[in-house]
Amino acid sequence: MKNYILLVLAAFAIGSGLYFSTQTASAVGVAETLKTVAYDDPSIPKKERSGKYGFDKAHSSLGFRIRHLGLVDVPGHFRNFDGSFFYDAENVGKSSIKFTAEVRSVDTGIDARDNHLRSVDFFDVPSFPEMKFESKAVKKKGKSLRVTGDLTLKGITKEVQIPVKLSGPLKDERGQLRMGASGTVEINRRDFGITYGGNLPNGVQVLSDKVVVEIAIEGVKEVGD
């Protein structure tokens, strides 16, 4: 119980940070905290651990960071997203994850910037309202997983690999089985047709091509699964 309380407190503290207030926390911060307080209940057998987990969106986040003028990383997140993951504790290779985000829900904390991001210069929301990810392969690598899948953004699909750190499972105060999954992947925005932004006279990019996508998911095992 003590470890569970620590996990809840950590999630709450992070939730008031990076991009979201439950939805403004850095997934990197979440991942680092999970390394410290993640708890795996050894009394839960593999068969019970396995199954489909729906996203607990109140304790999950889908965010990103992009460098501005080569100086600082500017954060953002998507407020509306959903998904699930299937975890096979006996054969991790059979595990999978998928999620969808409403790109219109992009939030960087600045209304004018968010409206620009929704325009044709960036996400072109009217034409491409969703961002999607669906895994194709999952492999165990040390204490983490290597998830390979298709990321679709602005109508373009590219294969990406995401290192994923698992935490849990544990049972909450209601007896629900929960697991955490956090990961970070770097993509090139130009690969997805997002090319807005030039260079300063000294050659420094106004916006970097590289974007860090950060995922922190708390999943609840579906009843009967």
Using pLDDT thresholds of 50, 70 and 90, give the confidence band for residue 25. Answer: very low
pLDDT digits (tens, 9 = 90+) for 35-73: 445 578 888 999 999 999 999 999 999 999 999 999 999
Query: Which tops the pLDDT comparison, 138 or 25?
Result: 138
Query: Which tops the pLDDT comparison, 40 or 95?
Result: 95
Q: Over range 166-175, report the average pLDDT.
A: 93
Q: Is the pLDDT of residue 213 over 80?
A: yes
Q: Is 39 strand, coil or helix?
A: coil
Using pLDDT thresholds of 50, 70 and 90, give the confidence band for residue 200. Answer: very high
pLDDT at 78: 98
pLDDT at 142: 77
Q: Is the pLDDT of residue 1 over 80?
A: no
Q: Is 31 strand, coil or helix?
A: helix
pLDDT at 38: 59
Chain centroid to Cα 10, Å, comes to 17
CA distances from 85 to 98, 125, 198, 215 (A): 6, 26, 39, 13
Lowest pLDDT segment from 60-69, 141-150, 152-161: 141-150
Give the single-character DSSP code of 74.
E
Q: Are 194 and 60 in contact (CB under 8 A)?
A: no
pLDDT at 144: 87
Q: What's the mean per-residue pLDDT of the chain?
A: 85
Q: Over range 125-154, report the average pLDDT.
A: 95
The percentage of residues in the chain with a pLDDT greater than 70, rounded to a whole number, is 82
| Bridge partner list, 27 | none
